[in-house]
Chains A and B, each alone.
Chain A
Amino acid sequence: MLTTLTPVVFYRDPIAAMRFLEAAFGFETTALVTDKEGRVGHAMMKVGESEIGIGQEWASAELLGPASLKSPVSLGGAGSQFIRVQMSEGLDAHHERARAAGATITQAPADQFYGDRTYRALDPEGHVWNFAQTVATPTDAEMEKVSGLTFKTSL
């Protein structure tokens, strides 16, 4: 059974969000399904070699019973998931492009103890986006020494 995991990201204004994601982060729209009123029923974007879904905030919770799907903008900025985008190169230039396009940079590019150079940004509706580029490959022992944390492969 081959499985692929695809995240779906919910917005009040998915079309505006997709324009932003294209301009700021370089994602590419690959599918867009709208109804007569222009509401987005289904949308996909390519991110590197992966795909993400873009969804419309559900107007009614009845569709999913007890669960509901909303934008962080409807929750005072809280989110239940975020996406880490892996980059092979060009992290700092990517950050400059995002900043110029109006992304809120919450963490400027910096090297982390675990070997990635990372930056973090928020899109206009408050979804958290982490960008990472591997710049070093420390061993578990090296990381444990620097951080004081313990690295295991399972519980």
Chain B
Amino acid sequence: MSDFKRPSITSGVSYRDPKAALTWLEQAFGFEPMMVVVNEDGTIGHSEMRFGDSMIFVGHEYDAKHKSPASLDGVNTQSLHLQVDSGLDALFERAKKAGAKVLREPADQFYGERSAMVADPEGHTWSFGQVIKAMSFDEMAKAGGHQEIRERL
């Protein structure tokens, strides 16, 4: 897509079945396929999906360092967070309808956001967030109890 500018970061998500993942992610979250690279044997070598200005790679279990949670007893080493400006509950319902496993039902958090979390068919975790009350760092710290909040290491 000529109008799409590569963002600074792109997550590469590993699946046992990238074809199924491409279909599911479109159905569940409304991601749009941008590129699918097919190997000579018909399997998918690489693929890219977009939503808004962000994008992901949907790939294989390329080697020992790139595994699906389905191959790791459900463990994720990274997780993707979808921040939306509206419609969090509707997005959650859409994902559930597509077969996502509910990890956390939508709920309002002390830091002024509504959030939820699901797992996809191979066990990748996806969290959702939507700001419902703009809060400053100090307000969040107060609401969260004894926590230290700072902006630098």
Contact = CB atoms under 8 A, between A and B. Distances in A.
Given A64-B103, A154-B33, A5 B65 contact: no
Most chain B CB neighbours (cut-off 10 Å) among A1, A126, A149:
A1
Contacts of B37: 149-152
B75 A68 contact: yes
A48 B53 CA distance: 14
A128 interface: yes
Interface in A38-72: 41, 47-50, 52-53, 55, 64-72
Contacts of B7: 49-50, 86
B78 A81 contact: yes
B10 A84 contact: yes
18 contacts: A1-B91, A5-B51, A5-B56, A6-B80, A30-B151, A31-B137, A50-B8, A53-B81, A68-B74, A68-B76, A70-B76, A71-B77, A72-B77, A83-B78, A134-B6, A151-B36, A152-B35, A155-B22
Interface of A: 1-10, 15, 18-19, 22, 29-36, 41, 47-50, 52-53, 55, 64-72, 74-75, 77-86, 126-128, 130, 134, 148-155
